[in-house]
């Protein structure tokens, strides 16, 4: 089976973790290919006794919860080692086997000085802040692009590690001391902290691109799991209010070492409404009771930050954009159950920008910032859908809503999330099959 890519179609928090977990039972490798611990996946697993266990994953791929699956942190990820081991220890304490995790030798490490720089820079921006989580993600990617970063493989050569840290701090300490009035960070302090993780990390480190290529050659299935989402992509998102990496299908190839010719399917996750955390334009954002309803019923608070998510109606302009940018073959619509109880459910089908209708994403960000949603309204439903397991079991109005979204986004809706549980999903088309 060739590789399969899983991406978010909005601004993140669409439910990629649940989809990955669902697919993880049928794939051999799950690869995180971008981002770091600045985003999170929440996975709810039903236990044998009927109770549920909730897992909040930040850096680890969601496939780590599936015993038969090998989780991989790819070269495109930036790794905070403290967070990595804290997350591993937390899962181990709950009985989850994490021993199969492998980490790319080429992945970049989030250093203590980059965490500091991220926080002070954001504060310095004041009203022009971009909404960073302050976890050092952006500065680490900046170091990567400027070729001054620290990679996982550098941990195992003290001489190289010291040289690289010293070179980085020559400039960064000047910035910290003279611009931000912060104390300089010592080279020894950084090296000591990073080296403290080396022995534990060493057994996990591999040439992951080779591991994955060999797996594909054996006919095994590799799932490439995005952090963040299409509208947060550094190239194709709502720049500058984006993440610092490529969260699209193209990023899956560069972030894993798997060539595009090995990718068979691109699955995009689309929440039945829209949410966003952080700054930046959001055409369908609601500031009324409907927005609060979506936030409350959908439990829309950031997995990593805990921040209340901004909520709005479904935006199929964004959906079509995600289809185009990623080459989406299948959509998974999540959290359809949250819309239960609404008399009407609007769908944003186009934008009005200064009196001009835009059926597709405006070219420039200024127009997108001023975009007013043009809605098409669908009738709502009141029936509880959390127990539905076939499309035909859904209320007629819920079916009509899904079919209209499918028509407008330009790719088929192959699965529908109808509740928080691991099995609360309707499968219309096999995500890994040929139908």
State the CATH number of the domain containing residue 247.
3.90.170.10
278 and 412: one domain?
yes
pLDDT in tens, 228-259: 899 999 999 999 999 899 999 999 999 999 99
Smallest CA-to-CA distance from 15 within 392, 316, 331 is with 331
Confidence of residue 136 (pLDDT cuts 50, 70, 90): confident
CATH classification at residue 147: 1.10.300.10
In a shared domain, residues 39 and 145: no
CA distance 309 to 311: 6
pLDDT of residue 393: 97
- Based on the domain organization, do 25 and 79 belong to the same domain? yes
Show which of 170, 188, 203 is a domain's final residue: 203
Residues 223 and 170 in one domain: no
Domain membership of residue 70 (yes or no) is yes
Alpha carbon 95 to its chain's center: 25
Annotated catalytic residue 330 = no
Where among 161, 180, 203 does a domain terminate? 203
Q: By C-alpha distance, which of 411, 395, 276, 412 is closest to 345?
A: 395
Q: Do you find a cis peptide bond into 240, omega within 30 degrees of 0?
A: yes
C-alpha dihedral sign at 293, 298, 303, 309: negative
In sequence order, what are the beta bridge partners of 350? 374
Q: Does 256 map to a domain?
A: yes
Same structural domain, 70 and 131: no
Which residue segment(s) compose the domain that 278 sits in? 3-102+207-427
Report the domain count for the chain: 2
Average pLDDT over residues 57-79: 90
Decide if 322 is inside a domain. Answer: yes
Task: Compute the distance between CA of residue 14 and CA of residue 188 in angstroms, rounded to an integer.
Answer: 42
- pLDDT band, residue 135 (cuts 50/70/90): confident
Whether 237 and 376 share a structural domain? yes
- The answer to whether residues 237 and 374 belong to one domain is yes
Other C-beta atoms closer than 10 Å to the C-beta of 224 total 31
Annotation marks residue 358 as catalytic: no
Task: Kindly state whether residues 157 and 221 are assigned to the same domain.
Answer: no
CA 310, 397, 421, 409 torsion-angle sign = negative
Task: Note whether 301 and 341 are same-domain residues.
Answer: yes
Same domain, residue pair 225 and 284: yes
Inside any domain, residue 37:
yes
* Residues 260 and 339 both lie in one domain: yes
70, 119: one domain: no
- Domain annotation covers residue 434: no
Q: What are phi and psi of 431, to 5 degrees?
A: -70, -20
Is residue 378's pLDDT more than 60?
yes
| pLDDT tops 80 at residue 305 | no
Residue, of 122 and 254, whose pLDDT is higher: 254
Q: Does any domain span residue 433?
A: no
Span of 9-13, 31-35, 121-125, 157-161 with lowest mean pLDDT: 121-125
Is 43 inside any structural domain?
yes
Domain end position, chosen among 203, 233, 266? 203
* Catalytic residue (choose from 21, 28, 41, 154): 41
State the chain's mean pLDDT as an integer: 91
In a domain, 435, yes or no: no
What is the model's pLDDT at position 98?
A: 93
Catalytically annotated residue among 13, 21, 28, 330: 13
* Structure confidence at residue 55 (pLDDT): 76
Taking alpha carbons only, the member of 264, 194, 223 closest to residue 68 is: 223
Compute the distance between CA of residue 267 and CA of residue 14 in angstroms, rounded to an integer: 12
Q: What is the pLDDT of residue 47?
A: 65
């Amino acid at each position: 089976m060739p590789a399969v890519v899983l991406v978010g179609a909005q601004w993140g928090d669409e439910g990629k973790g649940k989809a990955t977990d669902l697919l993880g039972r049928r794939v051999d490798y799950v690869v995180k290919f971008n981002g770091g611990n600045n985003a999170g996946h929440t996975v709810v697993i039903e236990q044998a006794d009927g109770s549920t266990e909730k897992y909040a994953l930040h850096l680890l791929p969601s496939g780590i919860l599936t015993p038969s699956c090998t989780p991989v942190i790819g070269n495109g990820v930036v790794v905070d080692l403290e967070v990595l081991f804290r997350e591993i220890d937390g899962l181990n304490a709950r009985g989850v086997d994490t021993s199969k995790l492998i980490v790319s030798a080429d992945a970049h490490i989030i250093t203590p000085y980059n965490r500091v720089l991220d926080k002070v820079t954001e504060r310095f921006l004041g009203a022009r802040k971009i909404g960073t989580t302050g976890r050092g993600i952006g500065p680490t990617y900046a170091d990567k692009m400027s070729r001054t970063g620290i990679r996982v493989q550098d941990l195992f050569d003290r001489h190289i590690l010291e040289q690289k840290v010293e070179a980085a701090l020559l400039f960064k300490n000047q910035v910290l001391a003279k611009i931000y009035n912060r104390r300089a960070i010592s080279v020894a302090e950084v090296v000591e902290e990073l080296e403290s993780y080396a022995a534990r990390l060493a057994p996990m480190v591999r040439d992951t691109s080779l591991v994955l290529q060999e797996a594909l050659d054996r006919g095994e299935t590799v799932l490439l799991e995005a952090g963040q989402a299409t509208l947060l992509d550094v190239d194709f998102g709502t720049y500058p209010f984006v993440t610092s990496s490529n969260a699209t299908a193209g990023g899956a190839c560069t972030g894993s070492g798997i060539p595009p010719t090995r990718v068979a399917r691109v699955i995009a996750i689309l929440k039945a409404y829209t949410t966003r955390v952080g700054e930046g334009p959001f055409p369908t954002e609601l500031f009324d009771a409907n927005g609060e309803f979506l936030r409350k019923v959908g439990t829309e608070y950031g997995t990593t930050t805990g921040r209340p998510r901004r909520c709005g109606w479904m935006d199929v302009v964004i959906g079509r954009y995600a289809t185009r940018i990623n080459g989406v073959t299948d959509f998974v619509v999540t959290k359809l159950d949250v819309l239960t109880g609404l008399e009407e459910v609007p769908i944003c089908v186009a934008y009005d920008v200064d009196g001009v209708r835009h059926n597709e994403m405006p070219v420039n960000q200024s127009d997108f910032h001023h975009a007013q949603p043009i809605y098409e309204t669908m009738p709502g439903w009141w029936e509880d859908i959390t127990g539905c397991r076939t499309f035909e079991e859904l209320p007629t109005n819920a079916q009509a809503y899904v079919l209209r979204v499918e028509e407008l986004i330009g790719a088929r809706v192959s699965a529908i999330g109808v509740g928080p549980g691991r099995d609360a999903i309707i499968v219309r088309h096999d995500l890994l099959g040929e139908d």
